[in-house]
A and B are shown apart, each in its own frame.
Chain A
Amino acid sequence: MPVSRRAVLSASGALIVSFAVGLPISARAQRRGRTADTALPGSLDSTPMLDSWLRIDARGITVFTGKAELGQGIQTALIQLAAEELAVEPRAITLVAADTARTPNEGYTAGSHSMQDSGTAIMNAAAQAREILVGLASARLQQDRTKLKAEQGAVAAPDGRRIAYAELVSDRTLHVRAEPGSPLGDPAHRRVMGRSWPRVDIPAKVLGEVAFIQDLRLPGMVHARVVRAPSYGARLLSVDSAPVADLPGVLSVVRDGSYLAVVAQR
């Protein structure tokens, strides 16, 4: 996967070609010697590389989350967080959500954890990325970083000079571990967070575009129906699958212990 991703990205001109996939959340518990001082905020703790969460290149800003949109509006909320800390408009952000090949593994989307875990990670990663960009601009412009300001996708100097984020990043810029503390923006000056934004997922849903898992149609896709046990703890003792296997369209009957499913063409 890393090889093909690298090839794809370098062919398409992306400036950041590396990608870090973090440990799943369950691995957190296996870590030892972690204290409050060294723990990273939210899901950064299990997926600490900034470029697992953010990519900035000539095509724009892409944010990655392991959480899925279920109508709770998290795509919009996560975009708001990233836009706030990166000092860009929400429309400047492309969000990639819950793609097993591209996004951090954040486990289930459940229990009101999306903002707490993924949102916290994205907000802190975006703030740290912004500070990295300001630092790069400081060196480039020969200006003290405290005099520079990130705004509208660029770092601006008091004399009017500006360098766009995409011109500051190279392929390794964000391939760094997150730090425990982040220079989060001042809540008193928030432009995007804390305000209502129209949900980005609603237009596709009212227009009949691809919006639900049911709308995915993959080449050669077949369908399965799981045969559920009549009660919790029930065990499948025996099954005579031959009559089913001969039905038209049935491709196979899958049994794994007490798990039973029938795979068929549509």
Chain B
Amino acid sequence: MTSLVVNGRSVEVDDDPRTPLLYVLRDTLQLNGAKFGCGLGQCGACTVIVDGAPVFSCQTPIADIAGRHVTTVEGLGTRQRPGIMQQAFIDEQAAQCGYCIAGMIMRAQALIERTATPADDEIRAALEPNLCRCGTHSRILRAVRRAVRARQAAMAGGLSSPGLPG
């Protein structure tokens, strides 16, 4: 058994410790956010946040993250209350097919949690590992900039946990 903390919830899974986190998230825990794209850590569709850092969940065996905190896009918000990054992607209509978007959102979320006001080249550099084949890049950049502004406004307004629900 491996103990994980996924979106704030402790779970015990009996998958082989070598199993990629992505498979456990999708198949065992039935979460849809992280996507299988290439399975090789080359596209970023599987990106989730582990202890504050973006990781390719397809390349991360669950043994490596026992006891650590995993956040998927489901952990950022709900339909009634989307997270700041999710709302920014909705507002900017920053998706064509949308398959890469959950990974984009997680990598961008990790960025703004580390760097409150990233410069444009920092946003571009941070998102570089994530591929979008539809060509939605301009909208994605606009969405991240919008989220940065929204987060600043929320912090100025005294919200305790911007970007996270509750």
Contact = CB atoms under 8 A, between A and B. Distances in A.
A199 interface: yes
A70 B133 CA distance: 13
Contacts, number: 64
A205 B98 CA distance: 6
Interface residues of B, number: 27
Contacts of A212: 32, 35, 98-99
Interface string A156-172: 00000000000000000
Contacts of A217: 30
A45 B30 CA distance: 42
B71 to A, nearest CB: 11
Contact of B73 (A71, A199, A207, A266): A207
* Residue from A207, A208, A210, A266 having most chain B Cβ neighbours under 10 A: A208
B93 A209 contact: no
Contacts of A206: 73, 82, 86, 89-90, 95, 98, 101-102, 105
B132 to A, nearest CB: 11
Interface in B72-95: 72-74, 77-79, 82, 86, 89-90, 93, 95
Contact of A208 (B27, B32, B93, B95): B32
Interface of B is mostly: loop
A198 interface: yes
Contacts of A203: 79, 82, 90
Given A71-B98, A202-B89, A208 B72 contact: yes
Contacts of B53: none
Contacts of B42: none
Nearest to A72: B96
B33 interface: yes
Interface of A is mostly: loop
B134 interface: yes
A266 B24 CA distance: 11
Interface in A59-84: 70-72
Contact of B36 (A199, A207, A211, A214): A214
Interface string B3-32: 000000000000000000000000100111
A208 B101 CA distance: 10
B32 A209 contact: yes
B33 A208 contact: yes
A208 B134 contact: no
A211 B72 contact: no
Contacts of B101: 205-206
Nearest to B134: A71
Interface string A140-161: 0000000000000000000000
B97 interface: yes
Interface of B: 27, 30-33, 35-36, 72-74, 77-79, 82, 86, 89-90, 93, 95-99, 101-102, 105, 134
5 contacts: A71-B95, A71-B97, A199-B95, A202-B89, A208-B73
Q: Which 6 A-B pairs have the closest CB atoms?
A: A208-B33, A71-B97, A205-B98, A208-B74, A208-B73, A71-B96
Interface of A: 70-72, 198-199, 201-203, 205-212, 214-215, 217, 266
